[in-house]
Protein backbone atom coordinates (compact mmCIF):
# COMPACT_ATOMS: atom_id res chain seq x y z
CA UNK A 1 0.00 0.00 0.00
CA UNK A 2 1.33 3.47 -0.75
CA UNK A 3 0.04 6.83 0.40
CA UNK A 4 -1.74 9.01 -2.14
CA UNK A 5 1.02 11.63 -2.16
CA UNK A 6 3.75 8.97 -1.84
CA UNK A 7 5.37 10.35 1.30
CA UNK A 8 7.77 7.86 2.85
CA UNK A 9 8.35 7.96 6.58
CA UNK A 10 10.16 5.88 9.19
CA UNK A 11 8.91 5.71 12.77
CA UNK A 12 12.25 5.27 14.53
CA UNK A 13 10.81 4.41 17.95
CA UNK A 14 7.58 2.58 18.77
CA UNK A 15 6.59 0.09 21.46
CA UNK A 16 3.89 -1.74 19.55
CA UNK A 17 4.73 -5.20 20.89
CA UNK A 18 2.80 -4.54 24.11
CA UNK A 19 -0.72 -5.43 25.25
CA UNK A 20 -2.03 -2.02 24.09
CA UNK A 21 -1.77 -3.28 20.50
CA UNK A 22 -2.58 -6.94 20.91
CA UNK A 23 -6.14 -6.56 19.67
CA UNK A 24 -5.51 -4.57 16.48
CA UNK A 25 -1.83 -4.79 15.47
CA UNK A 26 -2.66 -5.54 11.83
CA UNK A 27 -4.93 -2.49 11.67
CA UNK A 28 -2.25 -0.33 13.29
CA UNK A 29 0.31 -1.40 10.69
CA UNK A 30 -2.15 -0.95 7.81
CA UNK A 31 -2.98 2.58 8.98
CA UNK A 32 0.74 3.38 9.18
CA UNK A 33 1.27 2.15 5.61
CA UNK A 34 -1.73 4.14 4.42
CA UNK A 35 -0.09 7.45 5.41
CA UNK A 36 3.36 6.52 4.08
CA UNK A 37 5.09 4.96 7.11
CA UNK A 38 7.08 2.22 5.41
CA UNK A 39 9.35 1.19 8.27
CA UNK A 40 8.91 0.97 12.04
CA UNK A 41 11.51 0.24 14.73
CA UNK A 42 9.91 -1.83 17.46
CA UNK A 43 11.88 -0.84 20.53
CA UNK A 44 12.42 -3.39 23.27
CA UNK A 45 13.31 -2.86 26.90
CA UNK A 46 10.38 -0.91 28.22
CA UNK A 47 8.79 -2.80 31.10
CA UNK A 48 9.54 -6.52 31.18
CA UNK A 49 12.69 -8.07 29.76
CA UNK A 50 10.33 -10.12 27.60
CA UNK A 51 9.38 -6.94 25.70
CA UNK A 52 12.62 -7.60 23.81
CA UNK A 53 11.62 -11.11 22.74
CA UNK A 54 8.23 -9.73 21.73
CA UNK A 55 9.86 -6.96 19.68
CA UNK A 56 12.03 -9.46 17.80
CA UNK A 57 9.07 -11.77 17.26
CA UNK A 58 6.83 -9.13 15.64
CA UNK A 59 9.73 -7.71 13.62
CA UNK A 60 10.11 -11.20 12.15
CA UNK A 61 6.38 -11.39 11.36
CA UNK A 62 6.04 -8.23 9.25
CA UNK A 63 7.98 -6.73 6.35
CA UNK A 64 9.22 -3.25 7.20
CA UNK A 65 9.36 -3.87 10.93
CA UNK A 66 12.69 -4.01 12.78
CA UNK A 67 13.57 -4.58 16.43
CA UNK A 68 15.95 -3.21 19.04
CA UNK A 69 17.02 -4.77 22.34
CA UNK A 70 17.89 -3.13 25.65
CA UNK A 71 16.50 -2.19 29.04
CA UNK A 72 14.99 1.15 30.05
CA UNK A 73 16.92 3.06 32.73
CA UNK A 74 13.80 2.83 34.92
CA UNK A 75 14.50 -0.90 35.25
CA UNK A 76 18.28 -0.75 35.64
CA UNK A 77 17.98 -2.08 39.18
CA UNK A 78 16.46 -5.33 37.91
CA UNK A 79 18.94 -6.20 35.12
CA UNK A 80 21.01 -9.29 35.92
CA UNK A 81 24.11 -10.70 34.27
CA UNK A 82 21.89 -13.42 32.82
CA UNK A 83 19.66 -10.76 31.26
CA UNK A 84 22.65 -9.18 29.49
CA UNK A 85 23.59 -12.56 28.08
CA UNK A 86 20.05 -13.13 26.85
CA UNK A 87 20.01 -9.71 25.18
CA UNK A 88 23.40 -10.29 23.56
CA UNK A 89 21.99 -13.49 22.13
CA UNK A 90 18.85 -11.69 20.86
CA UNK A 91 20.96 -8.89 19.36
CA UNK A 92 22.36 -11.40 16.86
CA UNK A 93 18.92 -11.77 15.21
CA UNK A 94 19.12 -10.27 11.69
CA UNK A 95 16.04 -8.12 12.37
CA UNK A 96 17.71 -6.40 15.36
CA UNK A 97 19.12 -3.08 14.16
CA UNK A 98 20.05 -1.25 17.38
CA UNK A 99 20.81 -1.56 21.08
CA UNK A 100 18.25 0.22 23.27
CA UNK A 101 16.43 1.69 24.63
CA UNK A 102 18.95 2.46 27.30
CA UNK A 103 20.21 5.64 28.92
CA UNK A 104 19.65 7.66 32.08
CA UNK A 105 16.47 9.05 33.62
CA UNK A 106 17.31 11.42 36.46
CA UNK A 107 13.79 12.90 36.43
CA UNK A 108 11.93 9.87 37.73
CA UNK A 109 14.93 8.14 39.38
CA UNK A 110 13.10 4.78 39.40
CA UNK A 111 16.51 3.10 39.73
CA UNK A 112 19.50 4.44 41.72
CA UNK A 113 21.69 6.67 39.56
CA UNK A 114 24.87 4.68 40.04
CA UNK A 115 23.09 1.55 38.82
CA UNK A 116 21.62 3.41 35.84
CA UNK A 117 25.13 4.54 34.86
CA UNK A 118 26.52 1.03 35.27
CA UNK A 119 23.82 -0.57 33.11
CA UNK A 120 24.00 2.18 30.50
CA UNK A 121 27.76 1.65 30.26
CA UNK A 122 27.17 -2.08 29.67
CA UNK A 123 24.80 -1.28 26.81
CA UNK A 124 27.24 1.23 25.33
CA UNK A 125 29.80 -1.58 25.26
CA UNK A 126 27.24 -3.97 23.75
CA UNK A 127 26.56 -1.47 20.95
CA UNK A 128 30.26 -0.98 20.33
CA UNK A 129 31.02 -4.71 20.35
CA UNK A 130 28.08 -5.68 18.12
CA UNK A 131 28.62 -2.66 15.84
CA UNK A 132 24.97 -1.67 16.30
CA UNK A 133 23.81 1.92 16.85
CA UNK A 134 22.57 2.96 20.29
CA UNK A 135 19.09 4.30 21.13
CA UNK A 136 19.47 6.58 24.14
CA UNK A 137 16.78 7.74 26.56
CA UNK A 138 17.82 11.01 28.23
CA UNK A 139 15.74 12.70 30.87
CA UNK A 140 17.52 15.42 32.83
CA UNK A 141 20.87 13.66 32.40
CA UNK A 142 22.47 15.36 29.37
CA UNK A 143 25.80 15.97 31.04
CA UNK A 144 26.27 12.45 32.38
CA UNK A 145 25.16 10.85 29.10
CA UNK A 146 27.47 13.05 27.05
CA UNK A 147 30.37 12.15 29.34
CA UNK A 148 29.77 8.41 28.96
CA UNK A 149 29.37 8.70 25.18
CA UNK A 150 32.47 10.86 24.92
CA UNK A 151 34.53 8.20 26.70
CA UNK A 152 33.86 6.02 23.62
CA UNK A 153 34.87 8.62 21.06
CA UNK A 154 37.23 7.21 18.51
CA UNK A 155 35.31 3.92 18.47
CA UNK A 156 32.52 2.95 16.07
CA UNK A 157 29.86 4.08 18.56
CA UNK A 158 26.97 5.98 16.95
CA UNK A 159 23.30 6.44 17.67
CA UNK A 160 20.36 8.65 18.48
CA UNK A 161 19.06 10.54 21.49
CA UNK A 162 15.40 9.54 21.25
CA UNK A 163 12.47 11.78 22.14
CA UNK A 164 14.84 14.68 22.56
CA UNK A 165 13.55 17.29 25.03
CA UNK A 166 16.71 19.20 25.93
CA UNK A 167 17.67 22.76 25.07
CA UNK A 168 19.83 23.92 22.17
CA UNK A 169 23.01 23.70 24.22
CA UNK A 170 22.39 20.02 25.01
CA UNK A 171 21.45 19.40 21.37
CA UNK A 172 24.75 20.90 20.25
CA UNK A 173 26.73 18.63 22.57
CA UNK A 174 25.10 15.47 21.15
CA UNK A 175 25.36 16.69 17.56
CA UNK A 176 29.07 17.37 18.13
CA UNK A 177 29.41 13.76 19.34
CA UNK A 178 28.00 12.67 15.98
CA UNK A 179 24.63 11.56 17.36
CA UNK A 180 21.24 12.08 15.74
CA UNK A 181 18.33 13.64 17.64
CA UNK A 182 14.86 12.14 17.34
CA UNK A 183 11.69 14.16 17.85
CA UNK A 184 8.31 12.89 19.00
CA UNK A 185 4.76 14.22 19.27
CA UNK A 186 5.96 16.63 21.95
CA UNK A 187 6.87 19.06 19.13
CA UNK A 188 3.13 19.46 18.50
CA UNK A 189 2.33 20.35 22.11
CA UNK A 190 1.25 23.92 22.76
CA UNK A 191 3.75 24.45 25.59
CA UNK A 192 6.75 23.07 23.64
CA UNK A 193 7.99 26.31 22.09
CA UNK A 194 11.49 25.78 23.55
CA UNK A 195 11.72 22.40 21.80
CA UNK A 196 10.50 23.91 18.50
CA UNK A 197 13.31 26.44 18.91
CA UNK A 198 15.80 23.52 18.94
CA UNK A 199 14.16 22.06 15.81
CA UNK A 200 14.38 25.45 14.10
CA UNK A 201 18.09 25.78 14.85
CA UNK A 202 19.41 22.32 14.02
CA UNK A 203 20.04 20.71 10.64
CA UNK A 204 17.41 18.36 9.21
CA UNK A 205 20.11 15.93 8.16
CA UNK A 206 20.75 15.01 11.81
CA UNK A 207 17.11 14.52 12.72
CA UNK A 208 14.86 11.47 13.08
CA UNK A 209 11.13 11.27 13.77
CA UNK A 210 9.34 8.86 16.09
CA UNK A 211 6.08 8.28 17.89
CA UNK A 212 7.23 6.46 21.09
CA UNK A 213 3.86 4.67 20.75
CA UNK A 214 1.75 4.08 22.82
CA UNK A 215 2.93 7.21 24.65
CA UNK A 216 3.08 10.90 23.67
CA UNK A 217 0.40 11.01 20.98
CA UNK A 218 0.70 14.25 18.98
CA UNK A 219 -2.01 16.88 18.81
CA UNK A 220 -4.94 16.33 18.03
CA UNK A 221 -4.69 12.86 19.59
CA UNK A 222 -2.90 14.02 22.73
CA UNK A 223 -3.75 11.86 25.75
CA UNK A 224 -4.96 8.93 23.63
CA UNK A 225 -3.06 5.82 22.53
CA UNK A 226 -0.33 6.78 20.09
CA UNK A 227 0.41 4.68 16.97
CA UNK A 228 3.01 4.78 14.18
CA UNK A 229 0.63 6.42 11.64
CA UNK A 230 0.78 9.56 13.78
CA UNK A 231 4.49 10.04 13.03
CA UNK A 232 3.23 11.93 10.02
CA UNK A 233 1.88 14.62 12.37
CA UNK A 234 5.35 14.91 13.90
CA UNK A 235 6.90 15.36 10.44
CA UNK A 236 4.27 17.96 9.54
CA UNK A 237 4.99 19.93 12.73
CA UNK A 238 8.73 19.90 11.98
CA UNK A 239 8.07 21.00 8.40
CA UNK A 240 6.02 23.92 9.64
CA UNK A 241 8.66 24.97 12.19
CA UNK A 242 11.46 24.80 9.62
CA UNK A 243 9.43 26.34 6.82
CA UNK A 244 9.98 23.43 4.42
CA UNK A 245 7.66 20.88 2.83
CA UNK A 246 6.65 17.76 4.72
CA UNK A 247 7.97 15.74 1.76
CA UNK A 248 11.45 17.12 2.43
CA UNK A 249 11.23 16.27 6.15
CA UNK A 250 10.05 12.75 5.27
CA UNK A 251 12.76 12.22 2.70
CA UNK A 252 15.66 13.47 4.81
CA UNK A 253 14.62 11.85 8.11
CA UNK A 254 14.02 8.53 6.32
CA UNK A 255 17.44 8.70 4.72
CA UNK A 256 18.97 9.46 8.13
CA UNK A 257 17.23 6.46 9.69
CA UNK A 258 18.24 4.19 6.81
CA UNK A 259 21.88 5.25 7.15
CA UNK A 260 21.98 4.99 10.94
CA UNK A 261 20.22 1.65 11.27
CA UNK A 262 21.24 0.09 7.96
CA UNK A 263 17.61 -0.57 6.98
ZN1 LIG B 1 12.49 6.62 26.28
ZN1 LIG C 1 10.55 4.44 24.31
- What does the alpha-carbon distance between residue 57 and residue 26 come to, in Å, rounded to a whole number? 14
For residue range 151-175, list pLDDT tens digits in order.
Answer: 988 889 999 999 999 999 999 999 9
pLDDT for 82 equals 96
CB-CB neighbours of 221 under 10 Å: 16
DSSP 180: E
pLDDT for 5 equals 67
Of 202, 123, 134, 118, the residue nearest 167 (C-alpha): 202
For residue 162, how far is its CA from the centre of ligand 1 (angstroms)? 7
For residue 41, how far is its CA from the centre of ligand 2 (angstroms)? 11
Half-sphere exposure of 201 (CA within 13 A, CB side): 14
Cα distances (angstroms) measured from residue 140 to each of 164, 182, 222, 253:
11, 16, 23, 25
Ligand nearest to the CA of 136: 1
Instruction: Tell me which residues of the chain have a pLDDT lower than 50.
Output: 1-4
Cα distances (angstroms) measured from residue 143 to each of 42, 53, 149, 160:
27, 32, 10, 16
- pTM (2 d.p.): 0.96
For residue 18, how far is its CA from the centre of ligand 1 (angstroms)? 15
Cα distances (angstroms) measured from residue 17 to each of 11, 14, 48:
14, 9, 11
- What does the alpha-carbon distance between residue 171 and residue 118 come to, in Å, rounded to a whole number? 24
For residue 119, how far is its CA from the centre of ligand 2 (angstroms)? 17
For residue 145, how far is its CA from the centre of ligand 1 (angstroms)? 14
pLDDT for 154 equals 84
Ligand nearest to the CA of 44: 2
Amino acid sequence: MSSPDSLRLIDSHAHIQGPEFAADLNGVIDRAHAVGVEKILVVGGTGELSSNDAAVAIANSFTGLFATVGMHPHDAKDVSEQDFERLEHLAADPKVVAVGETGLDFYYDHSPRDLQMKVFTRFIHMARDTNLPLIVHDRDAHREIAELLRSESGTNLRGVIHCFTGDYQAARIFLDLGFYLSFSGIVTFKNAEALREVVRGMPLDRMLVETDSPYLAPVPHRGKRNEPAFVRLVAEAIAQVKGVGVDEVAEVTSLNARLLFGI
